Amino acid sequence: MTSRGKAYSGAQIHDGRRLVIGHSLLMSKDEGCRIVPDAQVPPAYERVTLQGGVITPGFVDLQVNGGGGVLFNDAPSVDGLRAIADAHQGLGTAAFLPTLITDRPTATRAAIDAVAAAVAERVPGIIGLHLEGPHLSVARKGAHDGALIRPMTDDDMALLIDATERLPNLMVTVAPESVTLDQMRRLSDAGVILSLGHTDADRATCHAAFDAGVRCVTHLFNAMSQLGSREPGLVGATLEREDVFAGLIADAVHVHPASIRIALAAKPRSDRVFLVTDAMAPAGSEIDRFVLSGREVFRKDGRLTLADGTLAGADLDMATALDVMVGQVGDSLERAVTRATATPTALLREKGGLGVIEASTQWVNYLPPTVPTGAATTRLSVA
């Protein structure tokens, strides 16, 4: 009898929303993917027994600065995007937003053109663009080049609104110090996914931005006004809002696991917190240093830092973030996987069936027992 496909069993299965046991994943070139109880596996499927672990949808990462030794700012081209995509696919990421860090207007235009071309050429994994700057706050610039941070102009507005017509998804990190509420409303109405970040704004200002259409916060806790006794800042405002999503760099370097645990307990809807890698050029490579805006960044002991110790992105993959969330934060495996799959997908304008396992799913991960590092993540297939 000719096999109709493969039936993977012996592992827990997460479909992007919930975790099930005692089930098998059926994968067929003709019939796609579906999850059935072990006792209901059709006899025509070849059985593959896994030794524990968990099957998940491909990861979705909304903040990827580079990978494979390439930084997007240095290579805003289709070839550069291919190299970055290859590196992250090897780490289990099915789809991501290439992220341009604060740069000159020419770089922004080049990034938009490159992503539009990559999408047209169907470069695997490229689902849009994230512009992290340059319309931020110098007071909370982090590793961004303060000399390039500037207020948003009418020309910037026109460029971004035009980009929404060319790209499936456009995410832009902004700060109220450089972008007005009216500009935020117009961008949100045009379909831009707005996120607050790199800002020293107070609670009231942040709530006004959320009311103006900002839907997200970039790397919660990092490069923003903190929760204080008299002024809650952006951290406090984010934790108050049920409707606001928040990206989180869960590497136990950018944010202490206890702080993550407290935030999850405080936020009314913890399903609004999702994982990002904020990965830089070293992701999926062995390089130990690279250059960011003319400054050397060093890779050591799971950290990426400038010479003065300032964190400059993260040395992180999604499976390692899951390890931190489950093993150090105490998040359940079910919730943690959702934060790397269905939750970030919910922010996207064009979702394309990402973040879940359903009939049309093209990418499925297998993580061996104990939630491994990314190097151990493998992609399941029919072949």
Question: Looking at the DSSP assignment, which residues form a beta bridge with residue 130?
Answer: 99, 171
To which H or E segment does residue 275 belong? strand 273-275
Rounding to the nearest 10 degrees, give the CA dihedral for residues 255, 257, 260, 261. -170
Cis peptide before 257 (omega within 30 of 0): no
Rounding to the nearest 10 degrees, give the CA dihedral for residues 216, 221, 222, 227. 110
Strand pairing class (216-217; 23-28): unpaired
Contacts of 48 (CB under 8 A, 6+ apart): 6, 7, 8, 9
Question: Cα angle vertex 198, ends 62, 339, to 5°?
Answer: 30
- Using the structure block, give the residue that is written with the tokens 């500009």: 183
Q: Edge-to-edge, what's the strand order for the sheet holding 45-49?
A: 32-37, 23-28, 5-9, 45-49
Length of the chain: 383
d(CA 331, CA 329): 6
Q: Give the three-class secondary structure for 20.
A: strand
d(CA 52, CA 72): 37
d(CA 274, CA 269): 11
CB count in 10 Å sphere of residue 211: 13
Q: Can you read off the two tokens belonging to residue 52?
A: 């524990």
Strand pairing class (93-101; 129-132): parallel
d(CA 281, CA 277): 12
- Using the structure block, give the residue that is written with the tokens 């499925």: 364
d(CA 46, CA 44): 7
d(CA 117, CA 95): 16
**Residues with a known catalytic role:** 278
